[in-house]
Chain A
Amino acid sequence: MELGSILKGMSRNWVGPLLVALQVAITMAVMVNALFVIQERREVMARPTGVDEANLGRTGIFAYADDFDWTGEIRADLEALNNHPGVHAAGTVNSLPGTGSGWSSTWLVEENKPETSVQSAMYLVDEHGLETLGLELVEGRWFREDEIIDVDPTGFEGFFSGIVLTESLANKMFPDGALGRMVYTESEDQAPVVGVVRQLAVPWPSYLEWEDSSLVPGRLSGPAIFYAVRAEPGRLEQVLPEVEELLTGRASGRTVLPPETHREMVAEEFTDERATVRILFVIMVLLVLLTGLGIVGLASFNVRRRTRQIGTRRALGATRGDILRYFLAENAVLTAMGLGIGVVLTYALNYFLADQFNVARLPGSWLLIGMLALLALGQLAVLGPARTATRIPPAVATRTV
């Protein structure tokens, strides 16, 4: 291989190769980081929430009549919903995981010790909650009907009779076992842990402690409330319109909130994320294409500029394979130089993204894969011009070009 002479040649005509090498470096930095961010975002969007996502939907009511019988109508609604064919279970909730809005609560592991505080999402659920959300109870019990209290978000008397934690939150708060332990609030309320569920995500997709949720037996005291509706497997699309019709026809003095599937709600919450992923992907593809074209351009220019040289090499005994290998090797050297600079740029960009946008640190394997991919791209891009070069006849050496 003529590596030495290739390097010498480049050092004598360095502007074109340097520009393409820089382009390779920038492409590598952007491509690797963009793909990493895309992968990270996709993982975030694909995280399981712990509920029966495929069969879960949400509707609700907004009561506007002054004499609306809140407690009675909700009980009647739930009875009707739970008896409706195709509905597996229905119950009241204040929010659903991954949908963007919900409540948070600060719990204390030890009474009056703010330094033992833990942040978590707080779901208000009723006695149907376990079945409705499709949660897996791994320890303890679920709430009874008599435990469900009315909760006025602006302030309410009393406190919950018990609390259910996710496994993640339970392990964080009580590594030696959570069941039966007391959970305290900063306002000196307390409740025992009565159960632990396997998993339930928080409502906020960007919240780092994705599985730190708690559930309490409560129901909003009006004027609006959400009903979570879990359909029998595969019947959600059919059931939701029926549920809307059922609720609309059942009582007056209220508006029925349009039903949505849980997946639609989560997808809507991720609209910006998906747009970001798409834009990043398009930019990355364009940059890779531009770099490929840059390599094709430089190599084509070199082939034209060196037509006589290539003919001379052929006359001196170079086979077509030798000419092909020469251009591939020259491109590999050029790309390798770009990748060398690219490693530094890639890490610098990742450091910036980690610092500014909470992106994780780039694993070394990504760097390696990025380098191999760009090396392959370079070789692919140069293949066309290199094959053109192999077709230059040796007789060119004796002609005046």
Chain B
Amino acid sequence: MLEMQHIGKVYRTELVETHALRDFSLRVNEGDFVAVTGPSGSGKTTFLNIAGLLETFGDGTYRLDGEDVSGLSDKQRSRIRNQKIGFIFQSFNLIPDLDVADNVELPLRYRRLDRGERKARAERALELVGLASRTRHLPSQLSGGQQQRVAIARALAGEPRLILADEPTGNLDSLMARQVLDLLEEINARGTTVIMVTHDPDLSRRAHRNVHVLDGRVTDFKPYDPVPGGLAAGAGA
């Protein structure tokens, strides 16, 4: 599903050069549920941004769903994000002026789906996360857990091959965090690959595999719940 080879990412300012990722290599198979852990500043979010084509990288190669995405244009990256990847953000990132249904439909608009198709998909996704009755609510009228479920519905509506979750429970209390994790597991059980960045060891334990990142490299890699065939080796430097 995802294969990164010797990826390097450097942020440069006039004074400082920061190596966010160094010789970063990782393979994630289809259907995996991978937790990426590491302390703040270790490179987790940079990895997620590159994996999600939100940022470009300097060195190395990256194949996503069999396609080399290293030299793609901005427009091509937008298309792949829209069609293959579902994002779940720590702060939910719902559009405050749009109601729940419009938020969930947003990525489908960018896919130029017609209104009926958008509506049907959004309804299915909201049903899956248990918010079918809240379609006309604004994000501000929902609890944090509900907002994150809307965000998950938005990620699911496009039926992506890969879900990238950035600290998806970071802003939630433990009960809501558990509900969101249950949902992610359910999504993964349906065959969608999930990569979740977290600094919470309790959450990472629920993933099939755990990748630890430190100073921009993969330093540890172990399965918590091995699945035969789902454990192809990924290697750090």
Task: List the interface of chain A (C-beta within 8 A of B).
Answer: 2, 4-5, 8-9, 12-13, 308-309, 312-322, 393-395, 397-400
Chain B residues near A395: list those with CB within 8 A: 49, 54-55
Does the CB pair B102–A5 fall under 8 Å?
yes
CA distance A395 to B107 in the complex (A): 16
- By a CB distance below 8 angstroms, the chain B residues around A308 are 91, 93
Is chain A's interface secondary structure helix, strand, loop, or mixed overall?
A: helix
Q: In this complex, what residue of A is CB-closest to B155?
A: A316
A12, A313, A319, A398: which contacts B48 (Cβ < 8 A)?
A398
Question: What's the minimum C-beta distance from B233 to chain A, rounded to whole angstroms?
Answer: 27
6 interchain pairs, CB-CB under 8 A:
A309-B93, A313-B106, A315-B93, A316-B82, A319-B74, A397-B87
A331 to chain B, nearest CB (A): 16
Which chain B residues numbered 67 to 87 have a C-beta less than 8 Å away from chain A?
A: 74-75, 78-79, 81-83, 87
- A394–B110 CA distance with the chains assembled, in angstroms: 14
Return the chain B residue nearest A8 by Cβ: B97
CB distance from B171 to the nearest CB of A (A): 11
Min Cβ gap B157→A in Å is: 10
Residue B166, interface by CB 8 Å: yes
Q: In this assembly, does B52 line the interface, its C-beta being within 8 Å of a C-beta of chain A? A: yes
Complex contacts, A398 vs chain B, CB 8 Å: 45, 48-49, 54, 89-90, 166
Q: Are B52 and A315 in contact (CB under 8 A)?
A: yes
CB of B205 within 8 A of chain A?
Answer: no
Instruction: Give the residue among A315, A393, A398 with the most B Cβ atoms within 10 A.
Output: A398
User: Roughly how many angstroms separate A78 CA and B81 CA in the complex, as a whole number?
Assistant: 93
Complex: chain B residue closest to A2, CB-CB: B109
Q: Which residue of chain B is the closest to A308 with respect to CB atoms?
A: B93
Alpha-carbon distance A320/B76, docked complex (angstroms): 11
B87 pairs with A315, CB closer than 8 A: yes
What 1/0 flags go to B172-200 for Cβ under 8 Å of A? 00000000000000000000000000000
- The digit string for B36-55, where 1 denotes a CB below 8 A from any CB of A, is 00000000010011001111
Cβ-closest chain A residue relative to B49: A395
| Minimal beta-carbon separation of B107 from chain A (angstroms) | 4
B75 touches A319 (CB 8 A): yes
Q: Determine whether the beta carbon of A8 is less than 8 Å from that of B99.
A: yes
Report Cα–Cα, A321/B73, bound state, in Å: 13
Least Cβ–Cβ distance between A239 and chain B, in angstroms? 73
Which residue from A12, A322, A393, A397 sits with its C-beta under 8 Å from B110? A322
> At the interface, yes or no: B237 with Cβ under 8 Å from chain A?
no
Task: Tell me if B227 is interfacial: C-beta within 8 Å of chain A.
Answer: no
Chain A: CB-nearest residue to B107: A316
Residues of A within 8 A of B95 (CB): 309, 312-313
Q: How far is the CA of A394 from the CA of B80 in the complex (A)?
A: 13
Contact A393 B54 (CB under 8 A): yes
Residue among A12, A315, A320, A393 making CB contact with B81, cutoff 8 Å: A315
Known interface pairs A8-B98, A312-B95, A395-B49; A317-B81 also in contact (CB < 8 Å) = yes
Q: Is the CB of A316 within 8 A of B81?
A: yes
CB distance from B147 to the nearest CB of A (A): 13
User: Cβ of A394: which chain B residues have Cβ within 8 Å of it?
Assistant: 53-55, 78, 81
B89 touches A314 (CB 8 A): no
Quick check: A319 and B93 within 8 Å, CB to CB? no
CA distance in complex: A74, B158 (Å) = 99
Contact B87 A316 (CB under 8 A): yes
B154 within 8 A of A: yes
Residues of chain A with a CB closer than 8 A to B55's CB: 393-395
Contact at B54–A320, with CB atoms within 8 Å? no
B111 near A: Cβ within 8 Å? yes
| Chain A residue at minimal CB-CB distance from B109 | A2
Q: How far is the CB of B13 from chain A (nearest CB, A)?
A: 16
- Give the docked Cα–Cα distance between A308 and B48 (Å): 17
Q: For A317, give its contact among B83, B97, B99 (CB under 8 Å).
A: B83
Q: A291–B138 Cα gap in the complex (Å)?
A: 32
Residues of B within 8 A of A321 (CB): 75
Q: How far is the CA of A397 from the CA of B109 in the complex (A)?
A: 18
Q: In the complex the two chains form, what is the Cα distance from A210 to B97 in whole Å?
A: 60
CA distance A395 to B89 in the complex (A): 11
CB-CB nearest 6 A-B residue pairs: A317-B82, A9-B97, A317-B110, A316-B107, A312-B93, A395-B54
> How does the 8 Å CB contact mask read for B47-66 relative to A, with 1 for contact and 0 for none?
01100111100000000000
Q: How distant is the Cα of A315 from the Cα of B158 in the complex, in angstroms?
A: 13
Inter-chain contacts of A317 with B (CB < 8 A): 78-79, 81-83, 107, 110-111, 158
Taking a contact as CB atoms under 8 Å apart, the answer to whether B83 and A397 are in contact is: no
For B138, the closest partner residue in chain A by CB is A12
Rounded to whole Å, the gap between the CB of B164 and the closest CB of chain A is: 9
* CA A102 to CA B202, docked complex, whole Å: 102
A397 touches B75 (CB 8 A): no
Among B83, B87, B90, B110, which residue has its beta carbon within 8 angstroms of that of A319?
B110
CB atoms of A397 and B98 under 8 A apart: no
- A residues in contact with B99, CB < 8 Å: 8
What's the Cα separation between A57 and B86 when bound, in Å?
84
A316-B154, A398-B45, A398-B166 known; A13 vs B97 contact (CB < 8 Å): yes
Q: How far is the CB of A392 from chain B (nearest CB, A)?
A: 12
Instruction: Determine which residue in A4, A308, A318 has the highest number of CB atoms from chain B within 10 A of its CB, and name it.
Output: A318
Question: Which positions 150-170 of chain B face chain A at CB distance < 8 Å?
Answer: 154, 158, 166
Contact of B98 among A9, A13, A314, A400 (CB under 8 A): A9
* Alpha-carbon distance A314/B81, docked complex (angstroms): 9
Tell me the bound Cα distance from A313 to B110 in angstroms: 9
Chain B nearest CB from A179 CB (Å) reads 76
Interface centre among A308, A316, A322 (most CB of B within 10 A): A316
